[in-house]
Amino acid sequence: METMKQYIEDAEKALLHTYNRYQVVLDKGDGVYLYDIEGKKYLDFCAGIAVFALGYNNKKYNDALKNQIDKVIHTSNYYYNVPAIEAAKKIKAVSGMDRVFFTNSGAEAVEGAIKAARKYAYLKDGSTDHEIIAMEHSFHGRTFGALSVTGNPKYREAFAPMIGNVRFAKMNDFESVIEQVNEKTCAILFETVQGEGGIYPAEEAFMKSIKKLCEEKDILLILDEIQCGMGRTGYMYAWQRYGIRPDIMTTAKALGCGIPVGAFLLTEKVGANSLTSGDHGTTYGGNPLAGAAINIVLDLFEENHIIDNVKETGAYLEKKLDELVREYDCIETRRGAGLMQGLVFDRPVGDIITKALDRGLILINAGMNIIRFVPPLIITKEHVDEMTAILRTCLDAE
């Protein structure tokens, strides 16, 4: 068996270098812990970037996927399949949306949402110069459409020109949105809680003002729930906290808990007046294996009372992080919701994250100076205590 160092050297020779990976080769997981190929144990407060909501090695999840693999994995969308039909019914029920299109990823869900919005506007007036308003510091994905509405120039500049007709406003600043609205505006798009941009939840007043504006002008409200959705904030989808239903919503990450799946969902009004046969498609999206993953995930969310745990444990995590803010001068503030939290530092956090990894704690950043906490949604208060104890040793070593 190769050593960790040898595997890493092999990877650097074979893989395209688009990631600055941590120098660890992970091998297996169990519960909220991961293990590298040398057997070292890590408490995981990253969950594969908010993906593995149910933790690792969940027997019911594993068995459901194994059972589906033994039946059929893929058939294409020329035919119906039962797992996808059942998954569509379940996700409609928990989201309150009306129509579903399954994708393979969050970025693809954003692409579909953009196309649906532009087609909706096109069918109204036959024009092809409609505009979308997105938010500064947002992140929606790396494909061209998703990148075009991502409000961080450093991600876009090397790949210009983008798809065009996109304007940017400031999150939680309604006046900045109004300044960008004109007769060509067809949609307003933002993350209900910004993730990569620094863990910024949308404020209730901002949400309500945007919703009212959209209703008055028949502008579509698109909410990106790829990272903040699927129970992470204490609601199945973060917008449900405010009761403000979008016209289009994107979801992914924890939707499949490791199987690559995503979706964009539409109200009946938009679904009936936008994309139709031939307008959009995917070879793999909504295949039987993906459907089986979504079904068992949603079943286990209900069976294991995941939302209740997020509310209880999320409140405890907030309390413990707030204690760190008070104790350490280098930490400026905490922000977030539920089990999607960020600590804002007065300096880059890369060294702290590396020290934590050395001590058996997996953390990630959200920007240069923010540590992001997006653990599996099954964590307990004991895991929060374990995490904060390790983090304290890292901070004390600064």
Same domain for 124 and 165, yes or no, is: yes
pLDDT in the model for residue 386: 98
What's the average model confidence in pLDDT over 214-237? 98
DSSP assignments along 219-258, one per residue: PEEEEE-TTTTTTTTSSSSGGGGTT---SEEEE-GGGTTT
pLDDT digits (tens, 9 = 90+) for 229-276: 999 999 999 999 999 999 999 999 999 999 999 999 999 999 999 999
Average pLDDT, the chain: 97
Report the percentage of the chain scoring pLDDT > 70.
100
Tell me the pLDDT band of 397, cut-offs 50, 70 and 90: confident
- CATH for 213: 3.40.640.10
What's the average model confidence in pLDDT over 71-88? 97
Same domain for 263 and 170, yes or no, is: yes
Tell me the pLDDT band of 398, cut-offs 50, 70 and 90: confident
CA distances to 178, 278, 330, 335, 381 from 326, rounded to whole Å, are: 38, 56, 10, 14, 20
Tokens at residue 124, please?
């109204």
CB atoms inside a 10 Å sphere around CB 335? 18
Q: Which of 250, 279, 303 finishes a domain? A: 303
pLDDT in the model for residue 239: 98
What's the average model confidence in pLDDT over 297-318? 98
Same domain for 210 and 354, yes or no, is: no
What's the average model confidence in pLDDT over 369-383? 98
Same domain for 264 and 245, yes or no, is: yes
Q: CB–CB of 134/166 below 8 Å? A: yes
Same domain for 348 and 253, yes or no, is: no
Q: CB–CB of 134/150 below 8 Å? A: yes
Same domain for 67 and 140, yes or no, is: yes
> How many domains, the chain?
2
Same domain for 264 and 209, yes or no, is: yes
Q: Which of 282, 303, 324 finishes a domain? A: 303
**What is the C-alpha to C-alpha distance for residues 87 and 292, in angstroms, rounded to an integer?**
7
Same domain for 235 and 155, yes or no, is: yes
Tell me the pLDDT band of 297, cut-offs 50, 70 and 90: very high
Same domain for 218 and 346, yes or no, is: no
pLDDT in the model for residue 310: 98
Same domain for 346 and 209, yes or no, is: no
Tell me the pLDDT band of 359, cut-offs 50, 70 and 90: very high
Same domain for 258 and 352, yes or no, is: no
Same domain for 320 and 191, yes or no, is: no
pLDDT digits (tens, 9 = 90+) for 1-57: 689 999 999 999 999 999 999 999 999 999 999 999 999 999 999 999 999 999 999
> CB-based contacts of 335: which residues, under 8 Å, 6+ apart?
198, 199, 200, 201, 341, 342, 344
* 183: containing domain: 60-303
